[in-house]
Amino acid sequence: MIITPLPDGPLEVSGANIVKDQDGNIAKEGEKAYLCRCGFSANKPFCDGSHKREGWTSN
């Protein structure tokens, strides 16, 4: 698994990975996932693009 913070955007998780929800259920399984780090996503823990609308920056 490789985790890469994208500029002014989510964390890109690449490689075979499984993301589980707080109850331990599989929320996503695959080669890539984009995890929100701005706090504005309505689909946490995943990025839904809200960081752009909110003008969030990683700096």
Give residues in contact with ligand FES (CB under 6 A).
9-10, 36-38, 40-41, 47-51
Q: Are 7 and 58 in contact (CB under 8 A)?
A: yes
Nearer to ligand FES, 24 or 55 (CB): 55
Q: Are 9 and 51 in contact (CB under 8 A)?
A: yes
Minimum Å gap between C-beta 17 and ligand FES is 17
Nearer to ligand FES, 22 or 24 (CB): 22
* β-bridge partners, 34: 12
Nearer to ligand FES, 33 or 41 (CB): 41
Angstrom distance (rounded) from CA 53 to CA 30: 27
